Each structure stands twice: as structure tokens, then as C-alpha cells.
Chain A
């Protein structure tokens, strides 16, 4: 009986503190904690994405439990040859969007970024068509895995220009680059 009363009392105190923002986690604390986890993860070259996701969710859940401005967390990892080259963590609520980016190299996070990467490959005068194809396929794979499906439809080299056609859902993009 005593234990029950004590538990009920604790619950009430916690509820009152939480209602008056006395028992709460500061946004700064959440930000520093996410940043700390990401830093460790990148520094030690860890690859267990599921564990990272779990840690992020636990952290945000514990913030949400004691705060009114509840956040949702989103994790995107960009992999190349099985190792992580970039992590983007976004915590968002209707009011605000907080994004953390840790990238070991520049990655295409949107379609314009992908087009830019392909143009860079086409522009390289020292590369053979095969090596350009492999590099472009690598970029497309990364984009397909993380953002939306795209595929290489055509890559051809004429006398004075290189043309690449990329196919996505409902669209095609033709990228042309003149030889230097």
C-alpha cells in the first residue's frame, strides 16, 4: 500500500514538473547528444547503422517523454563499397527542422547534386568511357539506394562530346559535355 502511494506520488510530481517545463530536456542537450553520437560513430569508422538508428530513436524518445515540442527523427546513411561516406540526421517537429551532416566526401543529396556529379565525370578528359561508366553507375547506385531509383540508359562518346542519359520514374535527363 505504502509502495503504491509512493509510486503514485512520484508519478504526480513528475507530471506536475513536466507540465510546468521543470522536468524537461533542453533542445541544446538533445543537439549535443546527437552530435556526440555522430562524432563517435564517424571517428571510429563504425558501420552498424541499425544500432545508430536505435540510439538516435532512444535519445529522441527520451526527449519527447519530457517535452511538449515532440520531435521525429530521420536517419540517412550514404554508403560506398560497404563503408559509410555520409550520414544525415534530421530531427523535425512542426516548428523546426534540425539537420546534422557528417560526410567523408561530397555526396549527391538531391537530383541537381547528382547531375553535377555526372557532369564532373563527363568533363574528365583523362578517363576512358568504361571508367566514366563505372563512376556514373556508382553515383546512380548511391542515389537509388538513398533517394529514388534512377538508371543509366545510355553513355556515348562522339568526336567532340560525351552524352549521358539517366532514366528515373516518369523522366529522362540528358547530360551533355563538350570535350575540352
Chain B
């Protein structure tokens, strides 16, 4: 079996899962394992498969399938909406909230705090535990302090120029 064929099959399986709003993740995982095993049986460059499902409020937001062997890594990604994929994305989302809190008169402190909490909750669920220590709004400055269980503290700050 060619790698191109494997990629297309994996993509179709994930696409069909997303399109038909299926929820049986165990079945999806089983299907992907079977496809990869069938590939491994007839090829030398054997792959292992990894499935990551990101959910928000019980609904699937994105599905990532990673196929990896010793030399390279193939990722098939399907999104329904933007999701935080790493710490840089997380900081970007927090900074956007701070910017909005600083410049948008309709944005309330409570709304910003809730939004930041939801990003933290998402990050906690799929990456590493974080905790909101403080969200502070002054006249010309907003500051957010977030503590990680990995022994570091993030301070995101925005001030009016």
C-alpha cells in the first residue's frame, strides 16, 4: 500500500466522522488502527497511529490523526472551529481578551475573566494544568497572572500607549 493511499483513507474516515456528526470515538480509533495495521502488514516503514479529539461543551471541535514512524510524521487535521494547540496559541488568546478589555468599552471585566477561564479549562483538559491567579484592570492597563503546575508563572499585560 502506498503512503498516499494511507493518507487518503485516513482523511476519508475522519471526514466522514465529522460530516455525519458521529460520536463513537472508540469506533473511529478502531477503524484507524485497522487501516494502519493493514498498511504495516505490507510495508517496511511501519506507522503507529495516534488520535486526538478536542471537544468544547461536549461537541467535537477538531480531530487530529498523527501517523508516525522513525523518519517522519504525518498529521491529518480536521477543524470545526479554531482551537488552542500550544502555549503560544494560549498566550495569543489571553492577549486578545486583554486587548479587548482595554479598548472595547462594551467588554466587561466579567466577560473577559470568563473567556480566559474557558481557555484555561481547555488547556488544562488537553495539555498541562494552569490556574488563573489574577485578572486586574486599571485605567490604562490590564494584567493577567496565570500559574502553571510546571513551576512557572505567566504574566500577560496590555497597556494603552
A interface with B by C-beta (< 8 Å) = 26-28, 31, 35, 95-101, 110-112, 115-116, 119, 147-148, 168, 170-177
Contacts and interface: CB of A to CB of B under 8 A. Distances in A.
B86 interface: yes
A173 B153 contact: yes
Nearest to B8: A95
Given A99-B72, A100-B72, A173 B154 contact: yes
Name A's interface SS: mixed
A27 B76 CA distance: 15
A171 B95 contact: yes
A111 to B, nearest CB: 4
Given A111-B87, A112-B86, A175 B152 contact: yes
Given A98-B74, A172-B157, A175-B151, A31 B3 contact: yes
A114 B153 CA distance: 14
A128 B4 CA distance: 52
Given A96-B75, A170-B156, A112 B151 contact: no
Interface in B1-30: 2-4, 7, 11
**Residue of A31, A119, A170 ringed by the most chain B CB atoms within 10 A:** A170
10 contacts: A35-B72, A95-B11, A96-B75, A100-B72, A100-B73, A116-B150, A147-B88, A148-B88, A170-B95, A171-B157
Contacts of B150: 112, 115-116, 119
**What are the 3 tightest A-B residue pairs by CB atom distance, in nearest-first order?**
A27-B4, A97-B75, A111-B87
Interface residues of B, number: 29
Given A111-B87, A111-B91, A28 B3 contact: yes
Contacts of B86: 110-112
Nearest to B158: A170
Nearest to B147: A174
Given A111-B88, A170-B91, A176-B151, A28 B77 contact: no
Interface of B: 2-4, 7, 11, 71-77, 86-88, 91, 95, 98, 127-128, 150-158
Name B's interface SS: mixed
Contacts of B73: 98-101
B76 A95 contact: yes
Nearest to A118: B152
A95 B153 CA distance: 37
A58 B20 CA distance: 40
Contacts of A176: 151-153
Given A97-B75, A174-B153, A110 B87 contact: yes
Nearest to B75: A97
Contact of B155 (A110, A115, A174): A174
B75 A173 contact: no
A175 B153 CA distance: 6
**Residue of A26, A35, A95, A148 ringed by the most chain B CB atoms within 10 A:** A95
Given A112-B128, A115-B87, 5 more contacts: A96-B75, A99-B75, A170-B91, A172-B154, A174-B155
A97 B152 contact: no
Contacts of A115: 87, 150, 152
